[in-house]
Amino acid sequence: MQDDSAHTARRALETQLPDVHRRVSAIDVRKGVATVVLAPPEDAGGTDEAGVRTAVEAALLGVAGIERVRVIVESERQSAPAARRSEPAPFKPPAPVIIAVGSGKGGVGKSTIAANLAGACVRQGLRTGLVDADVFGPSAPRLFGLTDAPGLRKTDAGIEPLRAHGVKLVSTGFLVGEREPVVWRGPMVTGAIRQFLTEVNWDGGDGPLDVLIIDMPPGTGDAQLAIAQGVPISGAVIVSTPQTVALDDARKAMALFERTEIPVLGMIENMSFFLCPHCGEGSEIFGRGGARAEAGQMGIPFLGEIPLHPSLRVASDEGRLVALEDGPLAGAFERAASAMLETARTANRPAPEIVFED
């Protein structure tokens, strides 16, 4: 209901106050209270902000279910002196193939899957980047062995990503200490995500990326919408463990992508079975096949199974990617990445044109 109310409120502003709608950073509607976050006006001196607030309140109080309106205006960012300002460069997508890896909930190994899918892409000779968009629980520094790495820096070319195992990556984990929590409000979170998506110098002198993997945060709120609307995503991969409780949240993640018109490329089942390191036998601890069955029911591809194995835990803790090593796990990630990339290349192909001969 909250998402529907926020959508209705946004449409009301778009229809009645199009100039103000362009400044909307976020809208949240909870228990009858609408909170609207506005970017600072382009002409701070010539804008009647009190009149803007009054107009927004009047527009939204006419929406069913909204009883009170709160308007927040973000502080103006510092910029270069007027004499040095220039027209912003046109937006350039960071990669031809941009894939969001989501789950709808935490605890299913989504970040480990995203990191190793990136490693599998590197193994195929692709220039690969990764955005760790899980702002409150960044895992990339640990997974890539960069817990002691220096923080991100910004140059004239943009934010400079760090590099490990052939993958270029950015993460809020590089901005705060290992034990320091990220205590940010919604606009700060969405602002950081937008910078990671649009202001990173992915080229770095060795050419543009071929693939960008986005490790999505859990849930279906403002942060997820900022990603879905921030770059032209080629498609999304849903990660789930086999049990029903995980699949329930995976369905919500799929619904988010469908609502934002992002094709779901398929599902990956993590912890599909326990692969014994001694005898090589598999044990279906969590009930194997749930994600495969869900993919079939939803009519989307099933991209593969990733077994539960001690070597995956050890490699992740030590900052290694098993996808770049040898063995059954590396093979599983290679197959999943190949299926993901093939589906992404065909997901947005235009329908064939029917030509009638005279």
Helix (H) or strand (E) holding 34: strand 33-38
Q: How many CB atoms lie within 10 A of CB 354?
A: 5
DSSP string spanning 8-32?
Answer: HHHHHHHHH-HHHHTTEEEEEEETT
Q: Is 290 annotated as a binding residue?
A: no
Q: What is the largest CA-CA distance in the chain?
A: 74
- Sort strands 302-308 and 128-132 into parallel, antiparallel or unpaired: unpaired
Beta strands in 299-351 (DSSP E): 302-308
Q: Is 79 annotated as a binding residue?
A: no
Over the range 229-265, which residues count as b (16 or more CB within 10 Å of their CB) and which as e?
ebbebbbbbbbbbbeeebbebbeebbebbeeeebbbb
Is residue 217 within 8 A of residue 133, CB to CB? The reply is yes
Q: Is 110 annotated as a binding residue?
A: yes
Q: Is 105 annotated as a binding residue?
A: yes
Residue 270 CA to its chain's centroid (Å): 19
56: Cβ–Cβ under 8 A, 6 or more apart, which residues? 13, 17, 20, 36, 38, 69, 71
Q: Is 106 annotated as a binding residue?
A: yes
Dihedral sign for Cα atoms in the order 281, 108, 99, 160? negative
Q: Is 104 annotated as a binding residue?
A: yes
Q: Is 109 annotated as a binding residue?
A: yes
What is residue 78's DSSP assignment? P
Q: Is 129 annotated as a binding residue?
A: no
Q: Say how far apart CA 176 and CA 324 lie, in whole Å.
A: 28
Please enumerate, by residue number, every residue annotated as part of a binding site for ATP. 104-111
Please enumerate, by residue number, every residue annotated as part of a binding site. 104-111
